[in-house]
Structure 1
Amino acid sequence: MPTVQVSDVKDDAFLLDVREDDEWQAGHAEGALHIPLSEFVARYGELTEAAPQDGRVHVICRAGSRSAQVTMYLVQQGVDAVNVDGGMQDWQQAGRPVVTDDGAPGFVL
């Protein structure tokens, strides 16, 4: 499965967060698209509308297992998708910004 480290994700990369609502509300990467794994198939159209047509989709969750499932699905659909290894836990540990919906500092639940 295609995988990247948090340090390899550029600031302007398209990020898909597949964590559940309570995790997202506690804190997320600024600018990420949120579609929980539990709703992903039903809301797949939101991703196709938002994702760059010629760009890569970086899929992230808390630690990497849920995002791995979504990455495999996307790759099977012909999408250039990669799993962000270590997820939001590594994102926060690397000092990358974690915010709430109103832009305040957040945390990884």
Structure 2
Amino acid sequence: MEEIMRKNNPTAMLVALVIALLAPLAGAQGLFGPGVPTITHEEIREAGETGETLLFVDVRSEEEMSVSMLPGAITRREYERNPEAYKGMRIVPYCTVGARSGKYTRELRDRGVSAVNYRGSILDWVENGEPLVTPDGEPTKRVHTYSERFSVPEPYTPVSQ
């Protein structure tokens, strides 16, 4: 957060502030109650470096997903069709900032699934400059922000309608 503040980027500062305010609420004893662990962008990178298989599950609406998704992510509907196919993977639900995905993470954990909520979700993803794709797998810089209250850093383009 300190590094973002030093850059004096208003968009980055807003996203960092939202994440900083919501992160404690999304923790194991926070907004979603006990048993809802989170994963940060840094931990996602570390998992990739160690070869751990993470499966991103997008829990946003069809409208939001039609704008962009994390590369390699599947929809909640796809996951629910055959959860057995993803045994052995750590499931990482995401949404816009982590509230809806936190609720779904709790549901999954209650069913015995190894799941962690992506803290900051797609807004954190783009804040870290990560790529996005359309549902067809084409690269894009468009991000559905759910609400006009949320913004994204350049070169990303917010979409909220």
Equivalent residue in structure 2 for 1:65, among 86, 99, 118? 99
Equivalent residue in structure 1 for 2:64, among 20, 23, 41? 23
Matched, 1:98 2:125: no
Find the aligned partners of 1:7 and 1:48 in 2 and give their Cα distance.
26
In structure 1, list runs of 5 or more residues that go unmatched.
none
Distance 1:93 1:50, change over 3 A: farther
- What residue identity is the alignment partner of 1:46? R
* Residue 4 of structure 1: aligned partner: 39
Matched, 1:80 2:121: no
- What residue identity is the alignment partner of 2:119? D
Larger Rg: 2
Relative to total residues, which structure has the larger helix share, 1 or 2?
Answer: 2
Higher relative contact order (CA 8 A, sep 6+): 1
Between the aligned residues of both structures, percent identity stands at: 31
**Runs ≥4 in structure 1, deviation > 6 angstroms?**
none
Secondary structure, counterpart of 1:45 in structure 2: helix
Q: Is the 8 A contact 2:131 2:139 kept in 1?
A: no
What TM-score comes out, normalization by structure 1 length?
A: 0.83
